[in-house]
Chains A and B, each alone.
Chain A
């Protein structure tokens, strides 16, 4: 089934690609204290509750908390790009590339509303030739 092998994979395990409906990010929420975490885990490191996690769908809307404009990276990584820390509505903080914005400090406003978008992972493929879907941030449409 060559076609099945070509189906893109999620870049991280908390990015879900359901057969029906679009991609989304999944967090873990503590049933005791409501702290939201990214990635799989059993226990809560905020309140110490054991086996207290339940999956929660994260919002695609958020606010830019802070950023850096990266001009020097490892060989093969295209620069400049904007590394952004985004607080999602309803909980959860993620780091990712902020795209569709000019990479200069004047054009990027701390606290600006952003949205999560999903697309191919900049053409990067693994050793088996699989392509990947990644998440990105972009300025929210007014």
Chain B
């Protein structure tokens, strides 16, 4: 089977939630940016995979083509919680891998509302939020972090350091929502949302879109696009295996470990080979869990990783140098392709001030609650 390459990839600057005219206009903008990055036209795309959550039933992919070129190609609209964008990318990868198409476009786009996500409850009767505990995302991920505290004694301060790091990283990323330093005291003294997550430890609701052009090896050579190409070494997914608490406590760990194992096996590499990681820091409490889940350190060592700066730019394995969901922002359906954009930019050596030197392998990770985990391992192609 042919290797699959990313030959064009880009993202819009992430902006305040609700600041965009329409989902289709925003998605179209990212699609054109990715096409320009590849030097290709919409007429050369053989299929479109489009990820969006907010209007999942409203044919967003077709509406993107109605903005930039209705060429009649097949369009698949994808919705898979926070793994939506990565799932759209993976569907494009799989179609090329299977030999059905040579060139595909993947788009992830989201126009967001403000405020708390989750906790809607549902069912009849009376509202359950604040009666049967909390289903809000900050609380759900606070509880996931407290599980780490229970096992390893991880502290509020260690969780807060994740936010300090990621906000620092995004001062170097002009496409991030925020470019502000947030010292430790500022993070810890920010409004408490759901202990131990303060406001600065929650991802930012933003509008944003990202897009990638994927192609087969044959097409890569035919079009002469090898110079800046990035090889997809692994594309892996997992759903949540049964866990005794998973009816009340979404298990982001087992799902991630399963996908990571599959990804490393497919890529034929190990965690030590990975030069940078963009992982799903939807809350500061989540990031630490994934150092261990992705094998970047042994179980119980995540606290040390953040304390020693191993995961900061300049460290052993920089994590979320884009600023992550915490500071770059988290437009749900776009996030999975935006983190592929970030890793590709480093592998191409085009990341400017935040460049991870000599990056050859990079990993992206997203997890959508419910649950869907998607992991990609990308390699510099030359």
Contact = CB atoms under 8 A, between A and B. Distances in A.
Contacts of A95: 132-133, 248-249
A57 interface: no
Interface stretch (B175-183, B188-196, B333-341, B356-364): B188-196
Interface string A59-89: 0000001111111111001110101110100
Interface stretch (B80-88, B137-145, B309-317): B137-145
Given A74-B116, A124-B131, A93 B247 contact: yes
B139 A110 contact: no
A84 B132 CA distance: 9
Contact of B119 (A38, A74, A84, A110): A74
A61 to B, nearest CB: 17
Contact of A124 (B126, B138, B197, B245): B126
Nearest to A47: B242
Which label, helix, strand, loop or mixed, suits the secondary structure of the B interface?
A: loop
A110 B138 CA distance: 19
A3 B197 CA distance: 46
B73 interface: no
Contacts of A9: 125
A72 B126 contact: no
Nearest to B197: A68
Contact of B146 (A68, A74, A126): A68
Contacts of B222: none
B21 interface: no
A84 B156 CA distance: 18
Given A72-B191, A74-B129, A124-B127, A66 B139 contact: no
B244 A35 contact: yes
Contact of B116 (A72, A111, A125): A72
Contact of A96 (B133, B191, B196): B133
Given A45-B242, A67-B143, A126-B125, A134 B132 contact: yes
A124 B127 CA distance: 8
A71 B132 contact: no
Interface residues of B, number: 38
Contacts of A134: 131-132
Contacts of B138: 68, 70, 72
Contact of A81 (B127, B130, B140, B245): B130
A78 B127 CA distance: 13
Nearest to A104: B195
Which label, helix, strand, loop or mixed, suits the secondary structure of the A interface?
A: strand
A135 B194 CA distance: 22
Contacts of A45: 242
B298 interface: no
Given A66-B150, A68-B195, A72-B193, A38 B247 contact: yes
A134 B127 CA distance: 12
A105 interface: yes
A46 to B, nearest CB: 4
B194 to A, nearest CB: 5
Given A71-B193, A73-B116, A11 B143 contact: no
B143 A70 contact: no
A77 B192 CA distance: 16
A69 B195 contact: yes
Given A73-B134, A83-B194, A93 B126 contact: no
Contact of A68 (B129, B139, B150): B139
A72 B247 contact: no
Contact of A85 (B130, B136, B248): B248
B128 interface: yes
B147 A97 contact: no
Given A66-B149, A125-B126, 16 more contacts: A35-B242, A37-B247, A68-B146, A70-B134, A71-B194, A74-B127, A74-B136, A77-B129, A79-B130, A85-B249, A87-B245, A93-B244, A93-B245, A110-B149, A124-B126, A126-B124
12 contacts: A11-B125, A12-B128, A12-B132, A67-B146, A70-B194, A74-B119, A74-B129, A77-B127, A97-B130, A110-B146, A121-B131, A134-B132
10 nearest A-B pairs in the assembled complex, by CB-CB distance: A68-B142, A83-B133, A77-B130, A83-B134, A66-B146, A69-B195, A95-B133, A95-B248, A124-B126, A93-B245
